A and B are shown apart, each in its own frame.
Chain A
Amino acid sequence: MRSCDLTGYPRCDGTAGVRNLMLVLPSVVCATQVARELGKAAGAVAIVHQHGCLHVGDDLAHTERMLVGAALNPNIGAVLIVGLGCETVQGASLARTLSERRPRVDYVGIQEAGGTAQALAQGRAIVDGRLAQLSATPRVALERGTVRVGIDRAGDPLVEPLREALETRGFPTCVAETASVGGAHVELAAAGMQAIVSLCGPGEPPLGSAICPVIAVARDREMYLALADDFDLGAIEGTHREHAQLIAETVASVCAGEPTAAERRGALDFVLQRLAVTM
């Protein structure tokens, strides 16, 4: 079995990204407008989410873990945290946590900056500077085993042959158990997977991810035909093994830089699972 010539962006902790993204991450929903504006810069991606304030207990810990994990994903070359200032998940402390583990972590607080206009001006200067740094970084050869692939659906009969096909090619795998597909993607991204295979069942339209390329595989022929543009692979004739081989080949070319359907349409989904009510 041929192993692919893996290239990407090595990180200081021994991991490596298959993308080199400038992530704009709001710590709270109140900072999403500024983040969205900053994410319009070519080469930047912004996450728009609904959370970050008035969490309690496990739900707070989970939310912080997911935001930190997403920002530490090896695909992220630089991250700008946008905070408001009065929120529960404090943007400044999120940025401090990240900067202990990674270079190129910046923070803009809207209240501290003196409002939206100032925050945007500060943020734009940071994003432009980081994008220039990132664009100067070449892809280099990676060691086998450094790129891990998440599979978003436990229980699909394709999972075991797919794990085998991916691992044979040098991609360690991890399977999510989360019922929510978007929630599974966030958890896989936060656990450090650099690519995700999404196995979409009947009636399930595919999601993208702001952090990882998502290879969307329709497990249902009718759904594939109806939404062909948004899937990377359809329901394929043949055995599970053959199907798994084809997916693994696609994963390899996506990891080498080929854009997924979700990347082409610009779907930057980030669906965070919650564990308790908002206060």
Chain B
Amino acid sequence: MSELLGYPRDSGRWGIRNHVLILAARAAANRAAELIADKSGGAIAVGHEWEARPGDADAELIVRTLVGFAANPNVGGVVLVAATDADRELADEIAARGQTVETVVMTEHGGTLGTVDAGAELARRLSGAAARCRPQPMPLTALSVGLECGGSDAWSGITANPALGIASDRLIAAGATAILAEVPELVGAERFLASRAVTPDIGRQVIALIEGFERSVRELGVDIRGAQPTPGNIHGGLTTIEEKSLGAARKAGTAPIQGVLAYAQAPSRPGLYIMDTPGHDIEQMVGLVAGGCQAIAFTTGRGTPTGSPIAPCLKISTNSRIYERMPGDIDLDAGGIIDGSKTVESVGDAIFETLLEIGRGRRTCSELRGNSEFAIRRVHYD
């Protein structure tokens, strides 16, 4: 059997899923997108809170995120639900990334009702075309995996995160891509990470990224300790952001760091990268998926069931208690490392093998449950 089975795309990239995405261009199109997905069986609706107000200073960031998300190779075709003609630009940008995109404009159909009929027709057509694609042997070098931790506890940095680091190292050794993110949760680990950069300049970028975040927090006049670690982290035994960070950074193993990516930016070559995202699990996941990740590996100590609408999310518990407590939410348990029944290496290998299975079509808990959380980072405020 081939290591992965995927869908080759016009963009030259490969998907490990073949979804039809119904994307709202702005908040006023959310309901139409939802109704289109309901009517077309199997298509996935994504709505969000962006209003596309003229002069919104975050417009570039949000458009880049929506375009990157729609262009993710796990998506075989997109119906963009535009509220007005002004939203067509988004479709042009998605098409420019090599994605199949059909646009339905609400103002051409008298409102939501007419839009749903027209959009469902387009969705059915795209679903039909997607269903005719058969998965083919896919090279491991085409796989990109986002590395996340959410609801961390004191075990995260000892069990699941180091094990994910081993899986990440195996991905990188095989020529694939892995992306570490959540900059606030790297505070305190910047020198350690910078020392692994492939050039001194990239090392400086790593430090600038993390120090820049700390500076922006100081400029806000707030104390990061108000938010980091979170109430759940503290309850789980984490005492400081530095302690949380040193555990979080271990997800990225020991491979050299090839570069620093902006939020939602896709890397141009395989290898290990750091993306500029918040620690917020969903803003982070959306950034990673918009940056081309076809799968997410997500460690959790407190137990969080979230997933991406279009990318399988492999949930790994840091302790067996949470794995047993949340049946159907967590795919793999790293807790055996605590009592010595498993080693970090054996769990790391199991994560790697499970990622390959997911890349051959195995569905994760979050996919089976239909978890489809979505949130876009913002950096400007009124």
Contact = CB atoms under 8 A, between A and B. Distances in A.
Q: Do A and B bind each other?
A: yes
B283 interface: yes
Contacts of B35: 265-266
A250 interface: no
Contacts of B188: none
B266 interface: no
Contact of B378 (A49, A54, A226, A274): A274
A279 B184 contact: yes
A234 to B, nearest CB: 12
A246 interface: no
B1 interface: no
A53 B281 contact: yes
DSSP majority for the B interface? loop
B27 A207 contact: yes
A271 B49 contact: yes
B326 A114 contact: yes
A205 to B, nearest CB: 4
Contact of A56 (B112, B113, B224, B232): B224
A57 interface: yes
A229 interface: yes
B59 interface: no
Nearest to B113: A229
A268 B326 CA distance: 30
Contacts of A207: 27-28, 51
Contacts of A110: 303, 305
A116 B328 contact: yes
Contact of A206 (B28, B322, B326): B28
B9 to A, nearest CB: 28
Interface stretch (A1-9, A128-136, A145-153, A178-186): A178-186
B107 interface: yes
Contact of A32 (B112, B304, B373): B373
B362 interface: no
A33 B281 CA distance: 14
A54 B232 contact: no
A50 interface: yes
Interface in A220-279: 223, 226-231, 261, 265-279
Interface in B311-362: 322, 325-329
B296 to A, nearest CB: 14
Interface hub of B30, B49, B230, B303 (most chain A Cβ within 10 A): B49
Contact of A180 (B29, B51, B329): B51
A129 to B, nearest CB: 24
Contact of A182 (B27, B369, B375): B27
A189 to B, nearest CB: 15
Nearest to B378: A274
Contacts of A30: 150, 281-282, 304-306, 373
A228 B226 CA distance: 47
Interface in B214-262: 216-217, 220-224, 226-228, 230-233, 235-236
A86 B111 contact: no
B198 to A, nearest CB: 29
Nearest to B227: A279
A220 B49 CA distance: 24
Contacts of B28: 205-207, 269
B329 A115 contact: yes
B13 interface: no
Given A57-B222, A182-B51, A279-B227, A33 B303 contact: no
A87 B151 CA distance: 8
Contacts of B84: 203, 205, 226
Contact of B304 (A84, A227, A261, A279): A84
B370 A33 contact: yes
A54 B280 contact: yes
Interface string B2-31: 000000000000000000000000111111
Contacts of A205: 26, 28-29, 83-84, 106-107
A186 to B, nearest CB: 10
A117 B216 CA distance: 40
B305 A85 contact: no
A48 B48 CA distance: 9
A85 B235 CA distance: 10
Contacts of A269: 27-28, 30-31
Interface string A81-122: 000111110100000000000000000001100111100000
B300 to A, nearest CB: 9
A208 B110 CA distance: 17
B87 to A, nearest CB: 10
B13 to A, nearest CB: 27
B7 to A, nearest CB: 26
Contacts of B270: none
B139 interface: no
A55 interface: yes
B230 A87 contact: yes
Contact of A279 (B279, B370, B372): B279
Contact of B31 (A180, A226, A265): A265
Nearest to A207: B28
A60 interface: yes
Given A50-B49, A205-B29, A266-B35, 8 more contacts: A54-B184, A86-B304, A88-B231, A205-B106, A208-B31, A274-B381, A276-B381, A279-B278
17 contacts: A29-B280, A29-B282, A30-B150, A54-B280, A55-B227, A84-B304, A85-B151, A85-B303, A111-B151, A111-B322, A117-B328, A228-B110, A229-B112, A230-B106, A267-B31, A271-B49, A277-B278
Interface of B: 26-31, 35, 47-49, 51, 53, 83-84, 86, 106-108, 110-114, 150-151, 184, 216-217, 220-224, 226-228, 230-233, 235-236, 278-283, 302-306, 322, 325-329, 369-379, 381-382
Give the top 5 A-B pairs by smallest Cβ distance, nearest first. Answer: A86-B232, A229-B111, A115-B326, A50-B375, A226-B107
